[in-house]
Structures are given as C-alpha cells and as structure tokens.
Amino acid sequence: MRRPRQFLRQAGFTLVEAIIVIAIIGIVGAIVAVFIRLPVQNYADSVARAEVTDEADLALRRMARELRLALPNSVRVNADGSAIEFLLTKTGGRYVSVEDNPPATTPVLDFAGGARTLTVAGTLTRPVNAGDYFVVYNLGSGMAPADAWGWTTSDRNIARISTAVASGAQPVLTLDDNPFSSQSVTMPSPEQRFQIVSGPVTFACARAADGALVLTRYAGYAINLNQVNPPVNATAAPLTRRVNSCAGIFAYDQASSAQRSALVSITLELAARTVAGTAATSTIRLVHQVHVDNTP
C-alpha cells in the first residue's frame, strides 16, 4: 500500500539549519544591542541628572528663601565655607519713641529709664510669641552694643519678649528686661525700626556616620556670640545627602556688608546616582546668589 503524497512531503529543520538560524539571530541581536545600548544608557543618565538637579534646586530655593529673611548684618560664614548662620526674622516695624510726643499713657521704648514695655507704631503684620527676640539697630558681629549675636552679654541690642501678642494696630510689647537703657553707647534706630527674631538658623555640610556628605538645616538652638558648627542642642533636618564637596559651598560678600545690601553665594555640587554599566559618577553643579538686605 502506497502512502499518501502529503505525508511524503512533511519534513523538519535539520540541526545545521537550526544552528545557522541561532547564529544569525545572535549576530543580529549583538548589532541591535550595540546601537541601542548607548541611547538607553544616555537616557538613564539624563534621568539621574534630572533627579539630582531637582534635589539641588529645591535645597537652594529653601536656603535662599530663608536667607532673604535674615536679620540685617547677622549673616556669618565659617572659615572653609561649609556652614552659614543667621538670625531669622518673622516680622518688624517701627516703635514709638519720646520724639513722637505720644500721650503720657503710651509706653515708649525707653533708652534711659529701663521700662520694659513699648508700643508698636502702626500695625504688627504677624503675631509675636513669648520667647521671640526684639532687636533694634543691628550692625553685626563685633559691633557691640549693636550686635544681636551678643545675646549672652550685658552690652547688647536684643531682648526676649515676655508675652505673646496678636497682630493688629499699635500693640504693646513686653520685654523680659531692657538692655537698651544700659548700653555702653546708646544706639537707637535712626528710623525707629525694630525686627522680631524667632532664633538662629544654620545650614551646614558635614560627613555623616555612613560616610556621606550631608547638607543639614539646624534650628531651635540658643544664640551664641561665636559661630559653633554644628550647633549644640539643635533640631536637625537634612536637605540632601548627595553633596560632592562641603568646602566652599557658602560665600558672603563682607565688603558690601557695611553698605545697605550684601551678597551670599551658594555653590552646591551633588553626585547623581551611578548608572549601571558606567564607571564614573555623574555630578551637577548649581550656583545661586542671594541679595541680603542689611539696612538695620
């Protein structure tokens, strides 16, 4: 009996044919990989750089926003530029003085008798908390008695507020003491201006326990005459852990600090995450400048 024709024509691949096909697929795959690898690697690197750029930009904006609120002439940078410290203001205004010829019942800022109450001229835009600081005519470090960093000294221009005061028109502030009446040289503000300070703030870069260089914000600590890095008994909040170098992050143009404005330069260099298949670590470097109002 003869088999049907269709069964005689059926046949499979030979081993040689299968090997040839596998080899061709391998060659094509290698060629495709050569052309695709670089674009994919570039894409991954771009994503990594975009991530670290956003992180650096966010840190710079945070620092710049608070530096613009620094008490005039309170900015100071350590020797290697890895830390910057300043007194953070929350509000300010004008105080009533005897030169305003107010009614006899209106408390004025007393530069002679030691009275601890004073009246705000106009409106206080933000509420004041007990424990905030009242500062008049700050000229900066080494300028006693017009140096708010001299909080722990007797010859100073800064006092702590005793009771909370809500915002409003012509509120009365009460101080724990009156250092203005005992200044070695009486230093009232020519424009009767004052600032309310919530406390000192430090941005500092240092090496953490795991070896990473971390840029950290410190707050909630006591005012010190000399800059201490890191501050003692401070609340720490890391801004970024990808810092490539701590030295020279902050620079303060002290030449213009005697004028009405100064310039803080922030140079932040961060390392991006390592992309698989690359030997070098990608880094980005952002530079930001902040104008600081030094009008006391």
Check: CB of residue 215 under 8 Å from CB of residue 271.
no
Provide the 10 A C-beta neighbour count for residue 157: 26
| Range with lowest mean pLDDT among 78-92, 121-135, 245-259 | 245-259
From CA 105, how far away is CA 23, in angstroms rounded? 101
The per-residue pLDDT for 172 is: 96
| Pair 170, 223 in one domain | no
- For residue 257, pLDDT beyond 90: no
**Residue 255: is its pLDDT beyond 90?**
no
- The per-residue pLDDT for 73 is 94
* Whether 220 and 121 share a structural domain: no
- At CA 91, angle to CA 198 and CA 175, rounded to 5? 60
Copy the structure tokens of residue 143: 């300028």
Q: Return the pLDDT at 219.
A: 98
The two counts, helices (H) then strands (E), for the chain are: 2, 14
| Across 54-61, average pLDDT | 93
Query: Residue 77: pLDDT above 60?
Result: yes
pLDDT of residue 206: 96
- Please report which confidence band the pLDDT of residue 41 belongs to, taking 50, 70 and 90 as the band edges: confident
Residue 193 domain flag: yes
Q: How many Å apart are CA 18 and CA 111, to the nearest integer?
A: 101
pLDDT of the residue at 167 = 84
- Quote the number of domains for the chain: 2
- Report the 10 Å Cβ neighbour count for 6: 7
d(CA 13, CA 206): 67
| 125 compared with 39, residue with greater pLDDT | 125
Range with the poorest average pLDDT among 10-14, 21-25, 57-61, 139-143: 10-14
Cα dihedral value 124, 121, 86, 287, nearest 10: 70
> Looking at residue 9, what is its pLDDT?
56
Residue 100 and residue 246 in one domain: no
Amino acid at residue number 86 = F
In a domain, residue 117? The reply is yes
Asked if residue 178 and residue 102 are part of one domain, the reply reads: yes
Which of 164, 92, 86, 158 has its CA nearest to residue 124? 92
Give the percent of the chain with pLDDT over 70: 90
Range of the domain at 118: 87-198
Query: Three-state SS for 196?
Result: strand
pLDDT, average across residues 40-44: 71
Is residue 101 located within the same domain as residue 193?
yes
Percent residues over pLDDT 90 in the chain:
67
Mean confidence (pLDDT) of the chain: 88
C-alpha distances in Å from residue 277, one per residue of 26, 140, 146, 284: 21, 52, 59, 19
Which pLDDT does position 14 carry in this prediction? 80
Residue 17 confidence (pLDDT) above 80: no
Looking at the fold, whether 246 and 158 belong to one and the same domain comes out as no
Residues 136 and 188 in one domain: yes
Residue 253 lies in a domain: yes
The pLDDT of residue 279: 45
CA separation for the pair 89, 102 (Å, rounded): 27
Q: What is the pLDDT of residues 100-122, one digit of tens each?
A: 999 999 999 999 988 999 999 98
Cα 260 from Cα 111, distance rounded (Å) = 25
Does any domain span residue 134?
Answer: yes
Same domain, 208 and 130: no
More confident residue, 246 or 17: 246
| Mean of pLDDT values over 25-32 | 79
**Residue 48 within any structural domain of the chain:** no
Indicate the pTM of the whole model: 0.84
Give how far Cα 30 sits from Cα of 23, 25, 27, 36, Å. Answer: 11, 9, 5, 10
For residue 281, pLDDT over 50 is answered with yes
238 lies in a domain? yes
> In this predicted structure, which of 58-62, 97-101, 146-150, 258-262 has the lowest mean pLDDT?
258-262
Distances (CA, A) of 92 to 62, 115, 148, 189, 295: 22, 20, 15, 13, 13
Asked if the structure places residue 1 within a domain, the reply is: no
Same domain, yes or no: 276 and 235: yes
Q: What is the mean pLDDT of residues 125-132?
A: 95
CB-CB contact of 84 with 265 (8 Å): no
Return the higher-pLDDT residue of 15 and 215.
215
Tell me, yes or no, whether 5 lies in a domain.
Answer: no
Q: Where residue 153 falls among pLDDT bands split at 50, 70, 90?
A: very high
